[in-house]
Amino acid sequence: MDVLTALGGGTGVMVVAAVSAYRKSRRAQRVAAAAPAPAGGGRAIDPTAYGMAPGDRIDTTKASSDPEGEAARAAALAGDWRTPAAYLEAAGSDWDLRWRRLGYLAEAAAEDDAFVKAWQAARPDDPSAALVHADGMVMLAGKLRGALGAQHTTHEQFDAFHRVLADSEAACLRAAELAPEDPSPYIARITIARGLGWSHERFRTLWAEVVSRAPHHFGAHRAALQYCCAKWQGSHELMHEFARQAAASAPPGDLLAALPLFAVFEQEYRDGNEDIYRLPATAAAVDAAWRVVAAAPAGHHRLPEVRHILANALECSGRYAEAVEQFQLIGPFCGAVPWTYYGSPLKAFGGSRATAVAGWEDAGRPAVPQV
């Protein structure tokens, strides 16, 4: 059965206190894991002694450093459209890189679209300008809704979300018309499909447009995984099937092989049950992700976000030596899934990191296995 058919802490000290309790109730414990050590108990660990950034130096807004993307976003917010245009065009036909860069510009457009209006006025038929306008509208819809669950979202927020998403559909179609070979306008519509509750049949048609242009597009698959998950239009079964097939079809060494880990975390977070990390299928998925991460070029634009989900999976699986290594390589950043799912990404990140260090120490600091 193919995929289309299937769619039918705050300080510089880490603290480990009652690690077993942390693992029994990860959601609750991640909120408090980075708190100061309780009187008479707990174990304080200096992260700098393990080659890690202290808690008060961690950036909660991004997965890694990207000066070029941040400069393009800053230029856009300053009203300069030429710098963002050059930044996006430099991605060429590397469609996943183009989509990654688009994110910075769409975020800026959702905050202040003056630069997009100036760009479109100067170049009315520029497909990149149309794309930034379209995805900016999609991001604006998300901002209007907010990031909280449905039970904490007002009717007014939902109405604004649905209205702007519906309006953004025409903008996406215009961007696709201007650049028929670019999958990006179709990928932007995945969020529209999710938010407006498209049927599986309608989504299959959209997905076919995406994969006909970019069959192994990492960003597209992450977006589609959300459509397939239980909190939107799918189920655990559909989500895992989609992730497994995507990973199995990925070219050798492609980071898309790590997609099943995002599905594993999605289920763990929704169900509040870590038993999924003890399943043989999860162990195989962790192994596959670990191998592709080890082989990936150091500067790959998707490597940081995959490191974050891998570090979490390794820690949850009790593979502490490998987890510590990934946390060291992540550096001073926690603005990525899985940490951003929690009310305090910093505490979630710090708690997982502290657990990995404690487990590694308790095991006698074993060496990282060979890939």
Expressed in angstroms, the distance from the first to the final Cα of the chain is 31
Query: What was the pLDDT predicted at 184?
Result: 98
Amino acid identity, position 149: G
Distances (CA, A) of 17 to 95, 109, 154, 370: 45, 44, 38, 31
Give the percent of the chain with pLDDT over 90: 79
Bridge partners for 333 per DSSP: 59
pLDDT in tens, 66-77: 999 999 999 999
- Please write the tens of the pLDDT for every residue from 235-262: 999 999 999 999 999 999 999 999 999 9
Q: Which run of H or of E encompasses 110?
A: helix 95-111
Local confidence band at 141 (pLDDT 50, 70, 90 cut-offs) = confident
CA atoms within 13 A on the CB side of 50: 31
Domains detected in the chain: 1-62+216-371 (no CATH), 67-214 (1.25.40)
- The predicted pLDDT at position 28 comes to 53
- Identify the CA nearest to 243 among candidates 227, 231, 252, 253: 227
Q: What is the pTM of this model?
A: 0.89
Which residues have CB under 8 Å from 140's CB, separation 6+?
109, 110, 164
Amino acid 7: pLDDT:
52
Q: List the beta strands (DSSP E) in the chain.
A: 14-16, 43-45
DSSP state of 272: T
Q: Which residues contact 150 (CB under 8 A, 6 or more apart)?
A: none
Q: What is the DSSP string of 203-250?
A: HHHHHHHHHHH-TT-HHHHHHHHHHHSTTTTS-HHHHHHHHHHHHHHS
Instruction: Please name which of 193, 265, 181 lies closest in space to residue 223, comparing C-alpha atoms.
Output: 193
Query: Is the distance from CB of 190 to CB of 220 less than 8 angstroms?
Result: yes
Residue with tokens 């800053």: 74
The pLDDT tens digits for 262-286 are 999 999 999 999 999 999 999 999 9
At 9 the pLDDT is: 43
If DSSP codes are grouped into helix, strand and coil, which group holds residue 263? helix
More confident residue, 19 or 276: 276
Q: How far apart are CA 348 and CA 354, in angstroms?
A: 10
